[in-house]
């Protein structure tokens, strides 16, 4: 059985018999976890183990665990800084900022790998234009060159821990005020402005360890009438051909308001995203919609997407006991805690 093109979610802290049956469907390829799926580190570890046992090859297990506002697991995990804090340090000390970003990427990834999670949808590569509240401090900086520099260090840390990186939200969500979770954002800039500015981090990181990309549910009205995640122009012509990206393309959640522009039917949304170039679609917080997609995509198969998705499985297996004995783990937590208390501190690394 191959990895299917659909990523779903769970309702609670364990797998119900109904969910077990759904996850066995050949079109399912992954699970995304949320805070509601977390009660303790031990519970999470057991849940992930049960998910691994559902089928072979095992399902991809993902989470949004960026740090700052977006960190699904708290108790038993290190509280991670928001990306913007590294940008603030960068303005004072470039070397320190890079080093802290790399440490944070490693720490985020290794703590998730220690409970068996394959990857976090990170890092955010959006450029902070100062208008998007939903992005805000999730972005490293307002300068795309700084975003690129810090993200490269963060990705290196992730790779060292055995985790593939997913850059989001292509080609850039930072210049629209509306939140695509609850609205349909429209970016009215010209293509050349977007390409020269917001796409820069994606362009430069494609050949520096960026394994996956998640497009934005944003309409770039002077380029295409469809949101980027449903646009073959953005995904095939720009991302695949012009940028020569060969990794995985994940849709953003099809339940978001930003996806409604392609229709009320979840099957229509899924087909539109896959036809545009996505390898895997996310259907979250809507069980009825998820089942509709599984029925509507019957017979769908993409061997190339399966090969890409298989590369997202985590590497460098490590137990929590092994992790907690690592000197690097203890020193990294100490360094990041000191930095968060006083960003002006200088560290002698």
pLDDT digits (tens, 9 = 90+) for 144-163: 999 999 999 999 999 999 99
Q: At 348, is the secondary structure helix, strand, or coil?
A: coil
b/e sequence 57-73, b meaning 16+ C-beta within 10 Å:
ebbbbbbbbbbbebbbb
Residue 317 belongs to domain spanning: 6-341
**Residue 346 falls within a domain, yes or no?**
no
Q: Indicate the pLDDT class of residue 233, thresholds 50, 70 and 90.
A: very high
**Closest CA relative to residue 270, chosen from 288, 251, 248, 298:** 251
Task: Using DSSP bridges, classify how beta strands 65-67 and 280-282 pair: parallel, antiparallel or unpaired.
Answer: unpaired
Residue 324's CB is within 10 A of a number of other CB atoms, namely 10
**Residue 237 falls within a domain, yes or no?**
yes
Q: DSSP state, 233?
A: I
Output the pLDDT for position 256. 84
**Closest CA relative to residue 67, chosen from 78, 76, 77, 80:** 80
Output the pLDDT for position 341. 58
The CATH code of the domain that includes 320 is 3.20.20.300
pLDDT per position as a tens digit, 291-300: 999 999 999 9
Q: DSSP state, 227?
A: B
CA neighbours within 13 Å on the CB side: how many for 323? 22
**Closest CA relative to residue 155, chosen from 137, 138, 167, 173:** 167
pLDDT at 328 over 70: yes
| Catalytic machinery residues | 181, 252
**Residue 347 falls within a domain, yes or no?**
no
**Residue 1 falls within a domain, yes or no?**
no
Cis ω for the linkage preceding 57 (within 30 of 0): yes
pLDDT at 348 over 50: no
Average pLDDT value for the chain: 94
Residue 287's CB is within 10 A of a number of other CB atoms, namely 15
Average pLDDT over residues 54-71: 95
> Which regions of the chain does DSSP assign to beta strands (E)?
6-8, 28-33, 60-63, 65-67, 70-71, 119-120, 165-170, 186-187, 210-215, 219-220, 248-253, 280-282
pLDDT per position as a tens digit, 252-286: 999 988 788 888 899 999 999 999 999 999 999 99
pLDDT at 183 over 90: no
Measuring CA to CA, how many Å separate 234 from each of 140, 267, 275, 332? 23, 21, 12, 38
Average pLDDT over residues 21-26: 96
Output the pLDDT for position 349. 37
Ordered DSSP codes for 161-174: TT--EEEEEET-ST
The crossing angle, in degrees rounded to 10, of helices 94-113 and 327-341 is 130
pLDDT at 343 over 80: no
Number of domains in the chain: 1
Q: DSSP state, 226?
A: S
**Residue 253 falls within a domain, yes or no?**
yes
**Residue 273 falls within a domain, yes or no?**
yes
pLDDT at 342 over 80: no
Residue 42's CB is within 10 A of a number of other CB atoms, namely 11
Nearest 5°: the CA angle 72, 73, 74 is: 120
Q: Indicate the pLDDT class of residue 347, thresholds 50, 70 and 90.
A: very low
Output the pLDDT for position 8. 98
Contacts of 44 (CB under 8 A, 6+ apart): 33, 37, 38, 73, 115
Give the neighbor-by-neighbor strand order of the sheet with 165-170. 119-120, 60-63, 28-33, 6-8, 280-282, 248-253, 210-215, 165-170
**Residue 320 falls within a domain, yes or no?**
yes
**Residue 348 falls within a domain, yes or no?**
no
């Amino acid at each position: 059985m191959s990895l299917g093109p659909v990523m779903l979610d769970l309702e609670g802290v364990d797998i119900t018999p109904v969910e077990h049956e759904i996850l066995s469907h050949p079109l399912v390829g992954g699970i995304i976890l949320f805070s509601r799926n977390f009660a303790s580190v031990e519970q999470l570890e057991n849940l992930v183990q049960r998910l691994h046992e559902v089928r072979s090859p095992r399902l991809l297990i993902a989470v949004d665990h960026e740090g700052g506002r977006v960190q699904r697991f708290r108790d038993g995990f290190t509280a991670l800084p928001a990306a913007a804090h590294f940008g603030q340090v960068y303005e004072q000390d470039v070397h320190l900022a890079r080093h802290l970003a790399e440490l944070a990427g490693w720490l985020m990834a290794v703590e998730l790998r220690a409970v068996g999670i394959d990857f976090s949808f990170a890092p955010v590569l959006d450029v902070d234009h100062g208008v998007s509240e939903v992005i805000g401090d999730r972005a490293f900086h307002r300068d795309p060159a700084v975003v690129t520099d810090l993200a490269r260090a963060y990705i290196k840390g992730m790779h060292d821990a055995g985790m593939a990186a997913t850059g989001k939200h292509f080609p850039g969500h930072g210049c629209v005020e509306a939140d695509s979770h609850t609205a349909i954002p429209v970016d009215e800039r010209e293509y050349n402005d977007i390409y020269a500015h917001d796409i820069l981090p994606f362009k430069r990181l494609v050949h520096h360890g960026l394994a996956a990309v998640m497009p934005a549910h944003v309409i770039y009205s002077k380029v295409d009438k469809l949101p980027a995640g449903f646009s073959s122009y953005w995904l095939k012509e720009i991302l695949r051909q012009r940028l020569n990206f060969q990794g995985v393309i994940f849709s953003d959640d099809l339940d978001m308001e930003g996806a409604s522009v392609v229709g009320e039917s979840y099957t229509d949304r899924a087909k539109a995203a896959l036809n545009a170039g996505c390898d895997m679609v996310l259907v979250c917080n809507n069980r009825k919609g998820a089942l509709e997609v599984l029925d509507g995509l019957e017979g769908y198969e993409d061997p190339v997407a399966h090969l890409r998705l298989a590369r997202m499985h985590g590497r460098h297996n490590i137990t929590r006991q092994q992790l907690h004995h690592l000197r690097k783990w203890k020193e990294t937590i100490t360094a990041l805690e000191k930095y968060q208390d006083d960003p002006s501190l200088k560290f002698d690394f």
